[in-house]
């Protein structure tokens, strides 16, 4: 993006926080034209530019993306997204339930109004992408492994072992300067299924109404949700009981075994594989 004089603060080493286990999903279509342009640029960087520049692989897999619509309003929104995509050269198709079944045979389409399919969506390996970005940044003079030692309130900067760095920082470091930053981590979880026959090369799936995504992970699926009642990090002592109780919609274990651990959340009928 051409932005300089940036400081990235990480507790230990790159991706040691939450980055390494993010979903790494890239959906090209968003309601905002600015987001669509940024995502198109990101896709080029992740799928091509970084590997050419550094010789490292970001783990990019182009298996496509599928948004599912369980009501007419959502399907109308996806039709608008497809129209926006045409303006910016993003290939996409609105599919009928029957066409969706042909594309994703394991999906139950009985309750669907349709889907939006973007063939060139995909996933990246979060840790690999960060490592590749760090290699590219180092080639441009970026420095790393400098611990933060304090703050300088006169210059609104941070004191590190090799000079002063000025930028925004998160809540804990903000306390060094006597500033309360309204930014806090939330407890978040996902589950991974056992091996699913026939899942290979299937597109990633997103249900905006259920706030659930399914990410292809080899011959299994990583299933995550966006909690409506997120828990502040300082309040967490393990997965809360109310999350364990939300068992409605769990995929049939007769067909799909799942490493649930201590976390179960609701899945819509179409995602009950």
Q: What is the pLDDT of residues 21-67, one digit of tens each?
A: 678 899 999 999 999 999 999 999 999 998 898 888 889 999 999 99
Lowest mean pLDDT, pick from 59-63, 121-125, 219-223, 246-250 = 246-250
pLDDT of 70 higher than 70: yes
What per-residue confidence (pLDDT) applies to 210?
86
Q: What are phi and psi of 165, to 5 degrees?
A: -120, 130
What per-residue confidence (pLDDT) applies to 261?
43
Which pLDDT band, with edges at 50, 70 and 90, does 171 fall under?
A: low
Please answer whether residues 271 and 203 qualify as being in contact, where contact means their C-beta atoms are separated by less than 8 angstroms: no
- The yes/no answer on whether domain 64-121+186-271 falls in CATH 3.30.9.10 is yes
Residue range 171-187: mean pLDDT, rounded? 69
- Output the average pLDDT for the chain: 76
What per-residue confidence (pLDDT) applies to 145?
62
Q: Which of 21 and 226 is assigned the larger pLDDT?
A: 226
What per-residue confidence (pLDDT) applies to 161?
44
pLDDT in tens, 126-155: 888 888 888 888 787 766 665 655 555 554
**What gap in Å lies between CA 254 and CA 144, rounded to an integer?**
49
**What gap in Å lies between CA 98 and CA 112, rounded to an integer?**
10
The CA-atom distances, in angstroms, between 256 and each of 159, 165, 193, 253 are 52, 50, 7, 5
Which pLDDT band, with edges at 50, 70 and 90, does 248 fall under?
A: very low
Which pLDDT band, with edges at 50, 70 and 90, does 68 fall under?
A: very high
What per-residue confidence (pLDDT) applies to 67?
97
What percent of the chain lies above the pLDDT cut of 90? 35
Which pLDDT band, with edges at 50, 70 and 90, does 14 fall under?
A: low
């Amino acid at each position: 993006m051409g932005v300089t004089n940036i400081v990235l603060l990480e507790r230990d080493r790159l991706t040691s926080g939450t980055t390494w286990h993010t979903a790494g999903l890239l959906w090209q279509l968003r309601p905002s034209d600015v987001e669509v342009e940024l995502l198109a640029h990101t896709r080029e960087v992740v799928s091509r530019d970084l590997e050419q520049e550094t010789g490292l692989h970001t783990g990019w897999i182009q298996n496509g993306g599928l948004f599912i619509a369980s009501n007419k309003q959502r399907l109308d929104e996806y039709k608008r997204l497809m129209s926006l995509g045409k303006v910016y050269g993003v290939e996409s198709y609105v599919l009928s339930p029957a066409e969706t079944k042909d594309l994703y045979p394991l999906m139950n389409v009985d309750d669907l109004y349709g889907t939006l399919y973007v063939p060139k969506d995909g996933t990246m390996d979060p840790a690999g992408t960060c490592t590749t970005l760090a290699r590219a940044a180092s080639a441009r003079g970026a420095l790393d492994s400098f611990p933060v030692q304090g703050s300088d309130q006169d210059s609104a900067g941070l004191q590190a072992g090799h000079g002063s760095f000025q930028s925004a920082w998160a809540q804990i470091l903000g306390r060094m300067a006597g500033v309360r930053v309204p930014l806090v981590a939330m407890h978040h979880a996902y589950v991974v299924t056992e091996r699913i026959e026939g899942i290979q090369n299937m597109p990633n799936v997103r249900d905006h109404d259920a706030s659930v995504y399914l990410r292809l992970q080899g011959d299994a699926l990583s299933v995550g949700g966006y909690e409506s009642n997120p828990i502040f990090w300082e309040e967490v002592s393990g997965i809360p009981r109310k999350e364990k109780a939300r068992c409605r919609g769990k995929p049939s274990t007769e067909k799909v075994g799942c490493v649930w651990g201590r976390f179960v959340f609701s899945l819509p009928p179409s995602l009950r594989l």
